[in-house]
Amino acid sequence: MLRQIYILKDGNIIYERDFGKVLSFENFQSIYQEIETEISRGLLNDFGSSNFFKYRITYTVDRASNLIFIFIIGFNDDMETVKIELNKLKKDFLESFGDILDNLDPSLFEIFNPLIESIHKKIKTKISLIGFSGVGKTTITKLIRAEEVPETHIPTITGKVSTIKIGKLIFHLWDFAGQEQFSYLWNDFMFGSDAVLLITDSTLENVEKSKYFVELIKEQTPNAHSAAIANKQDLDGALSVEKIEEILGIKTYSMVAIEPNNQEKMVQIVADILEMNTEESMLLKPLFERDQLIQLANKSLINGDIAESVSYFDQIADLCLDLGDDALYKEFSQKSEKLKRYLPDSDGLTNFQEQEEEQEQEQEEEQEVIDYSTDPNNPDSDDDGMSDGWEVNNSLNPNVDDSTNVPDGDSLTNLQEYQNDTDPNDSVSDDDGLTDGQEVNDYSTDPNDPVNTNDE
């Protein structure tokens, strides 16, 4: 697995990417001094390497520009592939930035990131799942891939290789056949693994037998990261994780692989095995940021903070797009758009309220056509000075000019009643003993107010 990339000019780091932290700054400085010594002595040609615990430091130089390109990889990575990708990095970097090295703006390296990610994919990460038949290796594979878990055990014949993508981390997951008749294949399957996960079913018998695999890991892949997963912890009689770890002598994680909610836990285990800090790794950090934002968005919804929820959903959609998950990008984009309907604009009404009002208006116009055969685009269909709604509410015909009629005999025409906001079918609107006509024509008082100065 490609874990770190460094590009140095004149002894200064000008570019750095971490896929899985290996070297501290102090360790790196020490190793770099050794590389510089080899270069100064003329011991380095186009390609060189040195070892650091379980890792290999590979490097190449461009003497004309005084540049050094460094990959930090695992011992099991194919050196021919590493050499090809390291030279590709040097070639593309010089083509992109060779003419501006003296005035190089670090922000320009953003355009270089897709190449770095493609190089990481080429130097493939291999994770092997080993264990006897029926312990849950295939179920765990499907859990990592977020697939539907099988309800019955189907033995894996010889083995299965899956290409897994978690966040931006792409690796090969090898699921070995656990039947003992295939034991002659286990050595070959494990060869070149960056990490080996030993799966047990948490029974004493299986754990004791699985000590065989611990020895096999030490013999065949001594430089691989290894750990055990104590599966089926939900069953009666399951040994505790602490007891299993004591028996096997390697780091052990608790697991119930048939529980889909354990996918995030399984991803965290993979990150731990590969020594990838989820808070820092550019491969896994976006994935965990997305999951954290989903939790925050759900909390905002519960609290009724729609604006905050929309903000979170937009951020989640952007992360999904960055992670290449088009389905989730579409899902969260749609959620955001739906919630935005409930956000108010400058008029104080939410989009949803405005849409409701528009729908109500449309329904009223449709009803106007159906019930009264009036023009829904003209508030006064008969042009008699009185609105259609007022006429209908007062039992007048909105399609007939009846503005001069006096149905209640109070000497006020319908139009005058409309202008004075009185009832055209009630001659005394305010019950003060004076007809509406007397109040308007004779006394100039308010026909809707029984107490007027002139009434006294």
Length of the chain in residues, anyone?
Answer: 456
> Mean pLDDT lowest for which of 20-24, 43-47, 94-98, 413-417?
43-47
Report the predicted TM-score, pTM, of the whole model to 2 decimal places: 0.60
The average pLDDT across 11-28 equals 79
95-117 pLDDT, tens per residue? 888 888 888 887 888 888 788 88
Max avg pLDDT among 81-85, 175-179, 439-443 = 81-85
pLDDT greater at residue 344 or residue 413: 413
Domain 285-340: assigned CATH number: 1.25.40
Contact 343, 351 (CB under 8 A): yes
The average pLDDT across 33-42 equals 74
Token pair, residue 379, equals 């508030």
Domain with CATH 1.25.40 in the chain: 285-340
CA–CA gap between residue 258 and residue 137 (Å, rounded): 11
Domain with CATH 3.40.50.300 in the chain: 125-273
367-377 pLDDT, tens per residue? 555 556 677 77
Confidence band, pLDDT 50/70/90 cuts, at residue 283: low
pLDDT at 350 over 50: no
Q: What is the CATH class of 125-273?
A: alpha beta
What's residue 367's pLDDT? 57
Edge-first strand order for the sheet with 169-176 is: 159-166, 169-176, 125-130, 195-200, 225-230, 252-254
Q: Which fold has domain 4-122?
A: Beta-Lactamase (3.30.450)
165-211 pLDDT, tens per residue? 766 677 777 776 544 544 545 666 777 788 899 999 999 999 999 99
Domain with CATH 3.30.450.50 in the chain: 4-122
The average pLDDT across 229-235 equals 94
Q: Kindly report the average pLDDT of the chain as a whole number.
A: 79
> Mean pLDDT lowest for which of 15-19, 73-77, 175-179, 433-437?
175-179
